[in-house]
Structure 1
Amino acid sequence: MNRQPAIPKRLGLLTAVALAALLAGCAAPGGASNATPQLELPATNAAVPAVAADWWKAYGDPQLDALVDEALRNNRDLARAMARIDESRASLRLTQADRYPSINAGLSGARARASETGPAIAGGIGNDFRATLNVAYEVDLWGRVANAGKAAREELLATEYARETLRTALAAQVVQSYAALQSLDAQVDLFTRAVVAQRDSVKLQKVRFDAGDLSELDLRQLEAELAANEGQLPKLERARGEAERALGFVLGRSPRALLEQNLPRSATAAAVNTSIPEGLPSDLLQRRPDVQAAEARLRAAGARVDAARAAYFPSISLTGSWGRESSDFSKLMDAPSLIWSVMASLTQPIWNGGRIDAQNDLAKARRVQAELDYRDSVAAAFREARDALGAYAEAQASLQILQQRVQALQRAEQLTRVRFDGGVASRLDLIEAERFALTAQASQADARRALAAAQADVFRVLGGGWQPQATNQQQAAHQPGTTS
């Protein structure tokens, strides 16, 4: 009997069921776990000047710019961050694939003998050849797949923000290491010039000592001061070598280059001209990449809670196949060999040893941890910003005071030398005046390093470059992973 006319009715019924399930899935509840907590933030009216994303160029040092660019290209930590982004993108594509039907083709051949005493009709030995096209689809009635996809998208966004955080920190580290090298260069130059001058002086005074015009006390004092300054040079050279190799490692250079390199740099450090905010701009700190990454991870954890909750509800699966089957391979493509099947199934979990409860509790616990991490990241942002601004103000004041001290001690050295030449001051007085002036100049070089380091740290804790009073649309356009 031919019943093929009933097939369209069955297909129509299954299509209607699937369509109703899809529409129900669009209205599935969810999203209650994704709200970002409201935090108590300090009010501020501080004016925030605009700073370019490549803020380190404000130092006006092309060699520093080249080193930062090299670090952003070759640093291995940054390369690992890029690999984590690629991993998150692959995870997102994997979750998105669950939203679509899976289609596969199969071709099989079998030869078997049926039992003569079994329930089936004995057929002896026979062949079975089959070629099918199979389709399977799980209706996302409760939003499990949609929320899993949302979690993956938020994780991808978090990894991109983490990369931006690392880029800012990396640029700040290069600036600070570069300033340290410049400070060590200045100190090596100061002590080298002092040692050269003192060696010449000792030679001259030895001649006077041999002629009886200089006491042994004066000569030994000169030799002791020379030895003290000579002892500083190996320490400074070692520190400079370590600083160069540390910077080379940050730049991602090879082991051979770490040992053979001589990093080019300018002779003096220049303070950046960009104004630094005096207060704590709340909106600016909340746009820090690490804060936004923590918020994205919180939203991802909330989406996973919604996905885990969906496991309590029934799941609907639709499967279908179409193909050919024949005992004779040569007749496999003939019209009578046509086979097809359509099936819809509904599965409701009843008891599984508490697995669903455990997965739901696990997702909720992880969301609590993500919320605490987010709160800590915001609090840490304000704490770091306050500390960095305080360190910057201190570095500015210290450098100004040291500049005044250097001027005063250099003038004191000149006056002591005049008094010594006039026979009023002793040689010990002159040696001490020279030592104080030299030490002050070395401290001034280190204070310049501290100021550059403090400036770089302010840029880092404020999230790098920023624009004042940016609109939400402008902020979204600058989010990682967005295109215009």
Structure 2
Amino acid sequence: MTKPDTRLGTLLLAGALAGCSLAPAYQRPEAPVAPAYPAAGPDGAGPAAADTAWRSFFSEPRLQQVIAAALRHNRDLRAAALRIEEARAQYTLQSAERLPALNASLGAARTRTPAALNQSGRAGVGERFDAGLSMAAFELDYLGRVRSLGEAALALYLASDEARQAAQIGVVAETAKAWFSERALAEQYALAAQTLAGRQRTFELTRQRLDAGAASRLDLRQNETLYQSARVAALTLARQRAQAENALTLLVGQAPAAPPAGAGPDDAALDAMSALPAGLPSELLARRPDIRAAELRLKAANANIGAARAAFFPRLSLTAALGSASAALSGLFDSGSGNWSFTPQLQQAVFDGGRNRANLSLSETRRHLAVADYEKTIQVAFREVADALAARTYLGEQVAAQLAARAAQAERLALLQLRFDNGVASALDVLDAQRELFGAEQALVQARLLRTTSAVDLYRALGGGWQ
């Protein structure tokens, strides 16, 4: 067999052995959660959250504009996109290790040999010209070490993309919740401002009556207390609304081009938003990108074990060169000027101070950590869905009960006002009824906000938000 045939056979054998891998067979861990959600309540019949685009779930045009701006300008999403580029570059670098690196060279050398070292006894000047291709220390991956590292890099790259999708879903949900919170605070502030105006008029009227001798100082102080309390409530809500606007600006990444306006969703819209089918916990493994990202990180850790195991075995590398050499530039490519070299090398660590064993132990420990992270991610997702389903079960009834309470307080105030006008009830009774009606109206706004945010949380927990 000729030398070229020997080289070809060696390469074919290395290629056949390259299919080997010392990485352990990957098995998805069992989901450490119950097979069904507790207190899930009646399930919706609409499309799954993961199949519902956020523009379909949030139908308010101004809110859609704000969410779209957040997806363009949010700094967390910008950082997530850059992490994808980083992971892609790392994967490209690792993939390049599976291919030989070829270098072209063209060189010239001019040397002077002293007379004492020259056979002719005279000093001489020699020239040499070289041109060729070379391949330096290309590892023949017969145990899959390089391939395992490439698989780990690919899994981390895909995990970074899943993490970006999870971040996008989070930005959509948090932007919507910030929008609805600002709207609820605006509605509460409007109620507080209306109450404040009424109590200020009553306070001024009582002061005029005191000046005329028709009211006592006790009546004045009672009305002043109610007026100042309403003023405190209005100022508190104004501060909270301004802070909610700042939170929305931070999520969007700039001041929203479409400022919040209008009221929050009504009860019919809330019923539609809450009517998402929960499905089974096992379906979350495919729906939620954070769970998919955790599993990909687990696969990367599993592949790294294969690379760590392969380090215990000899490493086979190949160095080769092909070119031509001549004493004159004009004869560099003449017949007979060709040269080549072929240098396979087998390298085995004899003593490494326990480095390979420690690296294998580190890889196995990181795999155990990745399993724990994967299982915790599933448990957190299960808890988020279960909490949102529990909120859906009770908040609808809570809003209905609060509506009834507000209606009862409004009727009570109307009856007491009628009795006061006829001299049967006292002004204190009317003021107390006004205060309780104001509290019932504020509680109703807060209950509707809780139901709205729980619907958004359920949408996010089930994997919706990015289509």
Taking structure 1 as the reference length, the TM-score comes to 0.86
Q: Which amino acid aligns with 1:317?
A: S
Is contact 1:280-1:385 (8 Å) kept?
no
Task: Work out the CA distance in 1 between the residues paired with 2:464 and 2:440.
Answer: 33
1:200 aligns with 2:201: yes
The residue number in structure 2 matching 1:481 is none
Question: Within 5 Å, which residues of 2 pair with 1:270-289?
Answer: 270=266, 271=270, 273-276=272-275, 281-287=280-286, 288-289=288-289
Aligned CA distance change for structure 1 residues 57 and 63 (closer, same or farther; 3 Å): farther
Aligned CA distance change for structure 1 residues 179 and 120 (closer, same or farther; 3 Å): farther
Q: Please list the CA deviations of residues 145-191 of structure 1 after superposition, one character each: whole Å capped at 9, or x if unmatched.
A: 21111111111121111111111111111111111101110111001
Q: Please list the CA deviations of residues 343-381 of structure 1 after superposition, one character each: whole Å capped at 9, or x if unmatched.
A: 322223332222222221111111111111111111222
The residue number in structure 2 matching 1:441 is 441
Q: Which amino acid aligns with 1:9?
A: T
1:81: Cα distance to partner? 0.8
1:266 aligns with 2:262: yes
The residue number in structure 1 matching 2:86 is 87
Task: Work out the CA distance in 2 between the residues paired with 1:30 and 1:264.
Answer: 58
Q: Please list the CA deviations of residues 420-477 of structure 1 after superposition, one character each: whole Å capped at 9, or x if unmatched.
A: 11111111111111011011111111111111111111112222169xxxxxxxxxxx
1:25 aligns with 2:26: no
Q: Which amino acid aligns with 1:364?
A: E
Q: Please list the CA deviations of residues 319-356 of structure 1 after superposition, one character each: whole Å capped at 9, or x if unmatched.
A: 32222223333443433432222232222333222222
Aligned CA distance change for structure 1 residues 285 and 301 (closer, same or farther; 3 Å): same
Taking structure 2 as the reference length, the TM-score comes to 0.89
Question: Within 5 Å, which residues of 2 pair with 1:278-427?
Answer: 281-287=280-286, 288-427=288-427
Is contact 1:158-1:297 (8 Å) kept?
yes
1:266: Cα distance to partner? 2.0
Aligned CA distance change for structure 1 residues 359 and 9 (closer, same or farther; 3 Å): same
Which secondary structure state, in structure 2, belongs to the residue aligned with residue 34 of structure 1? coil
Worse overlay, 434-443 or 355-364? 355-364
Q: Please list the CA deviations of residues 210-249 of structure 1 after superposition, one character each: whole Å capped at 9, or x if unmatched.
A: 3333333223322221121112222211111111011111
Is contact 2:23-2:304 (8 Å) kept?
no
Task: Work out the CA distance in 2 between the residues paired with 1:94 and 1:29.
Answer: 20
Task: Work out the CA distance in 2 between the residues paired with 1:121 and 1:408.
Answer: 123
Q: Please list the CA deviations of residues 290-338 of structure 1 after superposition, one character each: whole Å capped at 9, or x if unmatched.
A: 1111111111100110111111222222332222223333443433432
Task: Work out the CA distance in 2 between the residues paired with 1:214 and 1:354.
Answer: 94
**RMSD between superposed Cα atoms in Å:** 2.7
Worse overlay, 129-138 or 200-209? 200-209
Q: Which amino acid aligns with 2:152?
A: A
Worse overlay, 74-83 or 276-285? 276-285
Task: Work out the CA distance in 2 between the residues paired with 1:315 and 1:53.
Answer: 52
Which secondary structure state, in structure 1, belongs to the residue aligned with residue 142 of structure 2? coil
Q: Please list the CA deviations of residues 377-418 of structure 1 after superposition, one character each: whole Å capped at 9, or x if unmatched.
A: 112221222222223334323222211111111111111111
Which secondary structure state, in structure 2, belongs to the residue aligned with residue 127 of structure 1? strand
Overall identity of the aligned pairs, in %: 33
Task: Work out the CA distance in 2 between the residues paired with 1:196 and 1:411.
Answer: 21
Task: Work out the CA distance in 1 between the residues paired with 2:204 and 2:96.
Answer: 84
Is contact 1:175-1:452 (8 Å) kept?
no
Worse overlay, 15-24 or 203-212? 203-212
Is contact 2:168-2:465 (8 Å) kept?
no
Aligned CA distance change for structure 1 residues 41 and 219 (closer, same or farther; 3 Å): closer
Is contact 1:71-1:250 (8 Å) kept?
yes
Task: Work out the CA distance in 2 between the residues paired with 1:286 and 1:121.
Answer: 83
The number of aligned residues is 454
Is contact 1:58-1:272 (8 Å) kept?
no
Worse overlay, 48-57 or 227-236? 48-57
Task: Work out the CA distance in 1 between the residues paired with 2:55 and 2:215.
Answer: 55
Is contact 1:34-1:298 (8 Å) kept?
no
Q: Which amino acid aligns with 2:127?
A: N
The residue number in structure 2 matching 1:108 is 107
Task: Work out the CA distance in 1 between the residues paired with 2:303 and 2:112.
Answer: 53
Q: Which amino acid aligns with 1:24?
A: L
Q: Which amino acid aligns with 1:99?
A: R
1:165 aligns with 2:161: no
Which secondary structure state, in structure 1, belongs to the residue aligned with residue 108 of structure 2? strand
Task: Work out the CA distance in 2 between the residues paired with 1:427 and 1:18.
Answer: 101
Q: Please list the CA deviations of residues 118-164 of structure 1 after superposition, one character each: whole Å capped at 9, or x if unmatched.
A: 89999854333322211343211001121111111111121111111
Task: Work out the CA distance in 1 between the residues paired with 2:198 and 2:375.
Answer: 59
Which secondary structure state, in structure 1, belongs to the residue aligned with residue 2 of structure 2? helix
**Structure 2 residues not aligned, in runs of 5+:** none
Aligned CA distance change for structure 1 residues 360 and 73 (closer, same or farther; 3 Å): same
Q: Please list the CA deviations of residues 199-218 of structure 1 after superposition, one character each: whole Å capped at 9, or x if unmatched.
A: 23333333333333333322
The residue number in structure 2 matching 1:13 is 6
**Structure 1 residues not aligned, in runs of 5+:** 1-7, 467-477, 479-484
Task: Work out the CA distance in 1 between the residues paired with 2:236 and 2:249.
Answer: 20
The residue number in structure 1 matching 2:61 is 62
Task: Work out the CA distance in 2 between the residues paired with 1:119 and 1:29.
Answer: 56
